[in-house]
Structure 1
Amino acid sequence: MKKLLLLAAICLACGMVYAQPNADSLAYQNQRKKINDMLAARAAKFGQYDASLSHHSGIFGMQTKKDIRRSNDILMDIVHTDNDILQQTKVLLTLKNNQLDYRNFQQQTIQTKVKETEDNSLAYMSTINKLRDQNEKMKMTVQNADKTEAKLKFWLIISLILFIVTSILWIKAKKRAI
């Protein structure tokens, strides 16, 4: 019986250690109150049991069968209360585990979103860098094309000037020859 009481106390102590007052749900708080009320009732019943053990209504101050039965009935009631406390403690632990599972789910969801955001950011950065490189290459290509075009225009103008000068000289040479 002391082991059951100790087990119930340990379960409640573990529940209190891991419980966070702000994070507890209403159902969890109600379940804790219910168990605490059951423990208070059990303590009162144990007091009755203790009193019934000291009650001796028999001859020469001995306990009668009736006294022993009354003590046994109180003890059985305590055992039933202990069983109820253990069941309610299991419910309490289930509620707490559900809260922890939900928190873990939330943390995993947040971590997944953070990972996706990081991946997207890296992909965007990679795309931006590729586009910058392509832009630089295009600028270089345009600059090279401009230089080539300028050289071509220069040589075209030189060729045109040489052609005009040659044509003028040829025409003057023909006029002198005539």
Structure 2
Amino acid sequence: MMKKFLLLSLVCFLITDVLHAQTNAQVSADSIAYQLQRKKINSMLDTRKLRFGQYEQSLNDHTGIFGLQTKNDIRRSNDILMDIVKTDDKIYKELKILLEYRAFQQRQIQSHTKEAESINLGYMSVINKLRHQNELLKAEAQKATEQNQSTRRIFIWVIVFMFASILFLISRKSKVKV
């Protein structure tokens, strides 16, 4: 019984280790994707910052007569501004993806936590069940030992009674002969 318990415990721990290793590998891959997404957004923010600096510079450029802005200056500023707006849109999309990664990671952690809790509860119920079975087996063994002892006592009394009967019969026969 103890061997079965130890074997079951060993198998449970091995399964837990395998699940833990798979979880770590998946979390590591998700973390790498999350870090890559962050780097992508940071590079986009750097690009936006550079473009905004170009926009400010274009607003200060006055190539027209009497230091006024020309249509080309205004168009160039508007083009840079449109690029900034497009970059902002891309940044928002990438941020949304980043937040989805984060939410996905949190859901995974919660599901893994629930799995681990259910596995632990399963182990605990198996252990409790095995303990209960062990107690029942001990009680049955104790009962069997008591029955064995009472059966021995009965056999001993039967043998003593038979021996006494034989002695009585022998002593009676010897009195009859004399």
TM-score range, shorter chain: 0.7 to 0.9
1:126 and 2:136 matched: no
Provide the aligned length of Structure 1 versus Structure 2: 151
1:113 and 2:92 matched: no
TM-score when normalising by structure 1: 0.74
SS of corresponding position for 1:25: helix
Structure 2, unpaired ranges of 5+: 1-26
The 5-angstrom pairing of residues 41-80 of structure 1 reads: 41-80=47-86
SS of corresponding position for 2:175: helix
Partner of 2:13: none
Whole-Å Cα distance in 1 between the matches of residues 43 and 60 of structure 2?
Answer: 26
**1:102 to partner: Cα distance:** 3.0
The 5-angstrom pairing of residues 1-178 of structure 1 reads: 23=28, 25-172=31-178
Letter in 2 for 1:132: K
SS of corresponding position for 2:63: coil
SS of corresponding position for 1:46: helix
Whole-Å Cα distance in 1 between the matches of residues 154 and 40 of structure 2?
Answer: 91
**1:92 to partner: Cα distance:** 1.8
Letter in 2 for 1:170: V
- Report the identity percentage: 35
Give RMSD over aligned pairs: 2.2
Letter in 2 for 1:160: I
Whole-Å Cα distance in 1 between the matches of residues 100 and 126 of structure 2?
Answer: 38
Whole-Å Cα distance in 2 between the matches of residues 120 and 27 of structure 1?
Answer: 39
**1:26 to partner: Cα distance:** 3.1
Letter in 2 for 1:145: T
Whole-Å Cα distance in 1 between the matches of residues 39 and 145 of structure 2?
Answer: 75
**1:54 to partner: Cα distance:** 1.8
Segment drifting more, 112-121 vs 82-91:
112-121
Structure 1, unpaired ranges of 5+: 1-21, 173-178
